[in-house]
Structure 1
Amino acid sequence: MNVLVIGANGQVGRRVVQELAASSHDAVAMVRKEEQVDHLKELGAAKVVLGDLEKDFSEAFEDVDAVIFAAGSGGSTGPDKTLTIDLWGSVKAARYAEDKGVKRFVQLSSMGTPDPDEGGEKMKPYLVAKRVADDILQTTKLDYTIIRPGALSNEDKSGKIEVSSEGFTSMEGRSIPRADVAAVLVKALDQPNTHHKIFEVLQGDTPLEEELNNL
């Protein structure tokens, strides 16, 4: 499949491109700036397209079979960018996918979205945006999967995870490497049992593929 990676230049997105390059799929990396193109090609992207989440980026969906939405406004921006990128960017991506007949849509979300009020005032705008984006995605006709990781780290990929469809009761002292999150996003593409499902994920003791098969 040709997989459009939205947010391909982000910390998780770059790892998604690398995961796709090592798989049977081809990464179509969407970036905002021309100067980012060569780096994404070096990471293994079969194709790089330019697109801005705050504008019309529907052309990026040409000849695409699936989408991984891994975009995020980042911690250095304000609530305005959280709305236009994390929320509205996701909504537009889902609409473009429907318009272009792209059925498979894997979305990177976050733990804490079930009840944004519990995330604290600093995190609340981000969690609300992610929650609403997730809710809207579920109203589409897409074969969606929504993946909500816990705290992210830059440790090496472990290949072992723990998932929960009901939500973890506690994640104190726990996290998950970004590389493992990228691997989950890519592996879910080929897992029909993850269609129309939402699950949280942390680093764990079970091999990634086995844990996803048990969903």
Structure 2
Amino acid sequence: MKVLVVGANGTTGKQVVENVANSKQHEAYAMIRDEKQADALKKLGANVVLADLEQDVSDALRGMDAVIFAAGSGGHTGDKKTIAVDQNGAKNIIDEAKNQGVKRFVMLSSMGTDAPEQGPEGLQLYLRAKAIADEYLKQSNLQYTIVRPGTLSNDQATGKIDINNDIEDKSQTIPRADVATVLVECLNEEATIGKTFEMLAGETEIEQAIKFTH
């Protein structure tokens, strides 16, 4: 599949791009705003698409089979940017994916979006924006998967996660590298279509965990 990675220049996004590029089934297209970012992403094996998710993204989505939305303001860039990227930017990409006939959409969301008002005060707006985008995706008729990791770390990948009811301690973390692997593996696992799940580092091999067999 031709896979557009939105937020490709982000810390997690770059790892997603590399995983897509290294997979045998997929071709990576990295969506970036700044041409200066292009060389680094090309070295990871990606084709580069110049577009701003707050503007017209029709050219970026044309011909794509799937989207992995890994963009995020991180909740520390100010309220205006959070709404622009995490809420409206996501909705913009979802709308254009529908317009272009893109079938598959994997959303990197966040643990806590099911109850933003219970999150840390400084992250409540961010979680609300993510929640609105997630709900918009659910109503889109796209073949979606919404992935909600807990706190991200830069630790080495373990290849193992816990999801949903298997999570015992939500204060734990998960390596970005494992999150990137999950996002790409969701494209290969039909059992994830129509699913929303939380995840943290854990005990189950990623490929097995996302089959939802237990």
- The normalised TM-score by structure 1 is 0.95
Residue in 2 aligned with 1:161?
Answer: 161
Across the aligned residues of Structure 1 and Structure 2, the Cα RMSD in angstroms comes to: 1.3
Aligned partners of 1:29 and 1:40 also within 8 Å: yes
Alignment of 1:10-25 (within 5 A): 10-24=10-24, 25=26
Residue in 2 aligned with 1:199?
Answer: 197
C-alpha deviation, 1:120, in angstroms: 2.4
> C-alpha separation between the residues in 1 aligned to 2:11 and 2:58?
23
Equivalent residue pairs, number:
212
Structure 1: segments with no counterpart, 5+ residues:
none
Runs of 4+ that moved beyond 3 A: 166-170
Moved more, 184-193 or 74-83: 74-83
Local SS of the residue matching 1:122: helix
- The normalised TM-score by structure 2 is 0.96
Q: CA offsets per residue over residues 158-182 of structure 1, 9 Å max, x none? A: 1111111x5846312x110000000
Q: CA offsets per residue over residues 191-215 of structure 1, 9 Å max, x none? A: 1111111000111111110111235
Residue in 2 aligned with 1:185?
Answer: 183
Aligned partners of 2:5 and 2:31 also within 8 Å: yes
Alignment of 1:112-131 (within 5 A): 112-131=112-131
> C-alpha separation between the residues in 1 aligned to 2:149 and 2:130?
12
Aligned partners of 2:105 and 2:142 also within 8 Å: yes
C-alpha deviation, 1:85, in angstroms: 0.4
Alignment of 1:89-128 (within 5 A): 89-128=89-128
C-alpha deviation, 1:73, in angstroms: 1.3
Local SS of the residue matching 2:56: coil
Moved more, 67-76 or 198-207: 67-76
Identity of aligned residues (%): 50
Local SS of the residue matching 1:189: helix
Residue in 1 aligned with 2:4?
Answer: 4
Are 2:59 and 1:59 equivalent residues in the alignment? yes
Aligned partners of 1:5 and 1:27 also within 8 Å: yes
Residue in 1 aligned with 2:149?
Answer: 149
